[in-house]
Amino acid sequence: MCTRLLLVMFTLVGGAILMTGNAQAEQNTAIYLAAGSPAENTERNVRDKQGTTLTPEDQKETKSDVKVTAKIRKAVVADKSFSVDAKNIKIITRNGIVTLRGPVESEAENLKLQQIATQTHGVVKVNNQLEIKAP
């Protein structure tokens, strides 16, 4: 009985060590890949936390601002020509002023998104902060 208990404990401890080693290796690989990846956006995240740029949390909750943002988002999502990035841009409306932020694939997408926002009823001004992704 004692030998059996020791064997079970040894197996459990050994399995835990192996799983921890694998998890650590996978975690290190993920960090290594992200550091050289164009998707790595730590600098942007730091910029957003400093409060110098608008984020979706800055969206006004007035009926008119929410309505404007919803109309623009609906038009963007309905347009099948947009890339996934373009469909996921940040749209922030404050007192009728719309800020567009995020990466887009091309200058054509940038201009088309700005045009949609500008032509939306209730928009006073468009602040285009879209970034064209490097090829």
| Domain ranges (residues) in the chain | 1-40, 53-132
CATH numeric code, 53-132: 3.30.1340.30
To the nearest 10 degrees (0 to 180), the angle between helices 63-78 and 107-118 is 140
Confidence grade of residue 134 (pLDDT, cut at 50, 70, 90): confident
For residues 8-30, average pLDDT = 57
By CB neighbour count within 10 A (0-12 exposed, 13-18 middle, 19+ buried), where does 87 fall?
A: middle
pLDDT of 33 reads: 47
Question: Above 80 in pLDDT, residue 2?
Answer: no
d(CA 113, CA 128): 9
pTM of the model: 0.61
Instruction: Return the top range by mean pLDDT from 20-24, 42-46, 110-114.
Output: 110-114
